[in-house]
Amino acid sequence: MSTPVTRGAGVRPRERATPRALRHAWRFALGFVPLSLAAPFAAAQTPAAADSATLPTVSVSASGSSSAGAATPAVDPNLPATVETVTPAQFRNWNVVNTEDVLKYLPNLAVRKRFTGDLNSIIAVRGTSNSQSARGLVYADGLLLSNLLGNSYSFPPRWSMVFPDQIQQVDVIYGPYSALYPGNSLGATVLITTRMPKQFEATADVKAFTQHFSLYGVNQNFNGSETSASIGDRIGKFSYLLGVNHLENTSQPLQFATLSQSTKPAQAGDVPVHGAYFYNNQTNTPTVVLGVNGEGIEHTVQDQFKLRMQYDFTPTVQGGVTLGYWHQTYDSAASTFLYDANGKPIYSGNVSINGYEYSIPAAALAPSRGWSENWLYGASLRTHQATGWNAEAIASYYDVSNSVARTANAGGPGNGPGTMTLGNGTGWKTLDLKATWTPATPTAGPGAHWLTFGYHYDDYALDNQTYNTLAWRDGGAASFANAFAGKTETQAVYAQDAWRFLPRWKLVYGVRYEDWHAYDGYQALGGATVPYANVGDRHYSPKASLSFDLTDDLTLRASIARAYRFPTVSELFQGQVNGSSIVNNNPNLRPENDLSKELSAEWAHWNGLFRFTLFQDDVKNTIFSQTDTTVIPNVTNFQNIGKVRSRGVETSYQGEDVVLRGFDFGASVAYTQSKIVENAQNPASVGKYFYRIPLWRVNAVATWRFDAHSAMTLAARYSGRQYNTLTNTDTNPDVFGGTSSYIVADAKFTYRPTKKSEIGVGIDNIFDTRYFVYHPYPGRTFYVEAKLGI
State how far the Cα of 653 lies from the Cα of 603, in Å rounded to an integer: 9
- The helix (H) or strand (E) run that includes residue 21 is helix 20-30
Question: Is there a domain that residue 301 lies in?
Answer: yes
CA nearest 721: which of 740, 736, 738, 737? 740
Q: What is the pLDDT of residue 240?
A: 98
Beta strand residue intervals within 316-367, DSSP E: 317-336, 349-353, 356-360
DSSP letters spanning 573-596: H--EEETTEEES--TTPPPEEEEE
Q: What is the pLDDT of residue 36?
A: 35
Report phi then psi at 327, rounded to 5: -125, 135
CA angle at 190 for the pair 184 and 194, rounded to the nearest 5°? 140
Per-residue pLDDT band at 70 (split at 50, 70, 90)? very low
Q: What is the pLDDT of residue 374?
A: 96
Question: Is there a domain that residue 11 lies in?
Answer: no
* pLDDT tens track for 439-458: 987 566 788 999 999 999 99
409: domain CATH number is 2.40.170.20
Q: What is the pLDDT of residue 98?
A: 95
* pLDDT tens track for 114-161: 999 998 999 999 999 999 999 999 999 999 999 999 999 989 999 999
Full domain range(s) for residue 619: 20-789
Beta strand residue intervals within 148-285, DSSP E: 167-174, 188-194, 201-215, 218-235, 238-250, 256-260, 271-272, 277-280
Question: Is there a domain that residue 14 lies in?
Answer: no
- Provide the percentage of residues in the chain whose pLDDT is more than 90: 82
State how far the Cα of 586 lies from the Cα of 583, in Å rounded to an integer: 8
Question: Is there a domain that residue 10 lies in?
Answer: no
Question: Is there a domain that residue 15 lies in?
Answer: no
More confident residue, 586 or 201: 201
The mean pLDDT value for 702-719 works out to 96
State how far the Cα of 398 lies from the Cα of 511, in Å rounded to an integer: 28
Q: Is residue 584 over pLDDT 70?
A: no
Q: What is the pLDDT of residue 239?
A: 97
The mean pLDDT value for 170-179 works out to 96
Buried b / exposed e over 427-458, threshold 16 CB at 10 Å, is: bbbbebebbbbbbbeeebeebbbbbbbbbbeb
Question: Is there a domain that residue 576 lies in?
Answer: yes
Please, which residues bridge with residue 90 across strands?
Answer: none
Per-residue pLDDT band at 62 (split at 50, 70, 90)? very low
| CA pseudo-torsion sign 103, 559, 127, 57 | negative
Q: What is the CA radius of gyration of the chain?
A: 27
* pLDDT tens track for 265-303: 999 999 999 999 999 999 999 999 999 987 889 999 999
Q: Is residue 585 over pLDDT 90?
A: no
Number of domains the chain contains: 1
Per-residue pLDDT band at 575 (split at 50, 70, 90)? low
Question: Is there a domain that residue 635 lies in?
Answer: yes
Question: Is there a domain that residue 616 lies in?
Answer: yes
Q: What share of the chain is helix, strand, coil (3-state, %, to 5)?
A: 5, 55, 35
